Amino acid sequence: MTGMGRVAVLGYLSIDTIATPAGIHRDVPGGAALYAALGARAAGADVRLHACAGEDFAPHWLAALARCGVDVDGVEHRVGPTRRARLAHGDDGRRASPHHAEALWWERTAALAPTIPAAFEADVVVMAPMPMASFAPALDAARRSAVRAVADTSEAFAYREGDALLARLGELDVFAPSREETRVLLPDLDDDEAAAALAARGCAVLQKRGAEGALAIEGDARTRLPAPATTPIDPTGAGDATVGALAGYLAAGIAFVDAARRALEVGAGTVTQPGPAALGLAWRDAQGDA
Ligand SMILES: Nc1ncnc2c1ncn2[C@@H]1O[C@H](COP(=O)(O)OP(=O)(O)OP(=O)(O)O)[C@@H](O)[C@H]1O
Ligand SMILES: [Mg+2]
């Protein structure tokens, strides 16, 4: 019925400063690709990470990822700094991502674009949020390799290139944006309608709704998935870990809605500790960097 599947994760790494009501955490390794890779591992998959690290991405972070079972041989080293994000999470679940307004963030997004392999050796590829300049060739490569594609986006990319993204949704197996991103893509529709309109383009949709769970749509079937009970400490990466876990369960042969339900458990677990700690990434080194 199910066995270990192979997941390739393509996207970006980051070095995060995370402000929560309980305190601030600096120099936390992150990025959607890192959280998705760990989420896929949590789902039991064999995971290969395709991303670029800047000169400031600590080697011991990659070693820690490898200890988590993530194949980091596909992580390339590039000159200059890694992307950095300052993530502020409010008590009410609102979040601010001021880094998207910075020219440097966009410059590093271009400089650290992941190398697209000629073919993916995987059952499922996760396309973490990325500009269309990477998304388009990545989807081409997934289709050439007959690998299922699960993609996410971010509000910043949805604002800039929404129409180009919409035009390729039908080639995905699953599109898994947050509710906020679907509002950017289809501003005239309510959340349920937007998710249905996205699915009508020919992919399954998992519309992530934070503490309210998610809406899963496959064909004409809509399933409301409640968020599992959890104790939220830091929501950073929950959506990305959910998408990675979804890919992991799909790769193991589990059907979409069941895979999505299980993936939300991984997302709910992710929020219980700062950064990627709940996913098993012990990133602080012996010298005690915080
Ligand atoms: N406060 C919370 N309580 C319970 N579950 C949560 C909470 N936050 C996130 N989750 C779980 O994780 C899943 C994904 O989180 P969310 O909807 O916030 O994704 P996202 O908007 O893509 O987030 P991000 O991109 O910031 O990681 C949710 O569907 C839910 O199952
Ligand atoms: Mg997200």
Q: What is the pLDDT of residues 27-49, one digit of tens each?
A: 999 999 999 999 999 999 999 99
pLDDT at 4: 86
Q: Which ligand is nearest to the CA of 226?
A: 1
Of the listed ligands, the closest to the CA of 35 is 1
Identity of the amino acid at 73: D
pLDDT band at 1 (very low <50, low <70, confident <90, very high): very low
In a domain, 24, yes or no: yes
Cβ neighbors of 253 (< 8 A, separation 6 or more) are 1, 2, 3, 5
Cα 287 to ligand 2 centroid, rounded to whole Å: 32
Compute the distance from residue 95 Cα to the ligand 2 centre, in Å. 11
What predicted TM-score, i.e. pTM, was given to this entire model?
0.96
The residue ranking higher by pLDDT, 238 or 89, is 238
pLDDT of residue 91 exceeding 90: no
pLDDT digits (tens, 9 = 90+) for 185-202: 999 999 999 999 999 999
Taking the CA of residue 241 as reference, the ligand 1 atom at the shortest distance is 27
What does the block give as tokens for 148? Answer: 């299922």
Least reliable range by pLDDT among 79-93, 163-177, 255-269: 79-93
Which of 1-10, 28-37, 250-259, 268-277 shows the lowest per-residue confidence on average (mean pLDDT)?
A: 1-10
Residue 215 lies in a domain: yes
Pocket of ligand 1 (CB under 6 A): 178, 208-211, 213-214, 227, 230, 232, 235, 237-240, 242, 264, 267-268, 271
Please check whether residue 6 lies inside any domain of the structure: no
Residue 287 placed within a domain: no
Kindly state whether residue 286 falls inside one of the protein's structural domains: no
- Whether residue 5 lies inside any domain: the answer is no
| Residue 71 forms part of a structural domain | yes
User: Half-sphere exposure of residue 125, counting CA atoms within 13 Å on the CB side?
Assistant: 27
Atom 2, ligand 1: residue with shortest CA distance = 211
**Domain residue limits at 177:** 11-275
Please compute the mean of the pLDDT values over residues 197-221 and round it to a whole number.
98
Protein residue with its CA nearest to atom 7 in ligand 1:
211
Give the tens place of pLDDT for each residue, 94-148.
666 767 668 999 999 999 999 999 999 999 999 999 999 999 999 999 999 999 9
In-domain check, residue 280: no
**Which atom, in ligand 1's list, is nearest to the CA of 240?**
27
CATH number of the domain to which 97 belongs: 3.40.1190.20
Q: Which of 184, 208, 279 has most ligand 1 atoms within 8 Å of its beta carbon, as the pocket-test mutant?
A: 208
* Total structural domains within the chain: 1
Question: What pLDDT band is residue 290 in, cutting at 50, 70 and 90?
Answer: very low
Who has greater pLDDT, 284 or 190?
Answer: 190
* DSSP-derived 3-state class of residue 6: strand
DSSP codes, 10-46: ES--EEEEEEETTEEEEEEEE-HHHHHHHHHHHTT-E
Q: Which amino acid is at 95?
A: R
Whether the per-residue pLDDT at 253 is higher than 70: the answer is yes
